[in-house]
Amino acid sequence: MPACNLSLQIVPLVEEEQVYPLVDKVIEMIKSSGVKYQVGPMETTMEGELEYLLEIVKQAQQLCSDNGADRILSVVKIDYSSRGVTIDEKVGKYQG
């Protein structure tokens, strides 16, 4: 399976001061998953096999739920091609 790009913005409905710490936990989980990833101001983009990245999305919901979020709103963007898509081809020249 070719690699694709998937970005995740997760908004747990918790007290505002708890939002960043909870998002940090999600990023820590993404880091521990071993996929290539890049943290941005509105979303974290991952590169890998689609099925595995969707599994991470699922786990992120559970993680927020387990940490006190009664409700979680997420936005997931997928960039998919049968030839594969990489983070580098898109931002390499901008992030020199």
Given the complex with its own copies, which of 32 and 95 has the nearer CB atom? 95
Torsion over CA: 49, 51, 55, 60 (sign) = positive
Give, in order, the Cα–Cα distances in Å from 4 to each of 32, 33, 36, 42, 51.
19, 16, 11, 19, 10
Binding-residue pattern over the window 32 to 71 for its own copies, x denoting contact by CB under 8 A? ------xxxxxx-x----xx--x--xx--x---x----xx
> Per rule CB under 8 A, is residue 30 in the interface with its own copies?
no
Three-state SS at 23: helix
User: Residues in the site for its own copies, rule: CB under 8 A?
Assistant: 4-5, 7, 9, 11, 13, 16, 19-20, 27, 38-43, 45, 50-51, 54, 57-58, 61, 65, 70-83, 85, 87, 90-91, 94-95
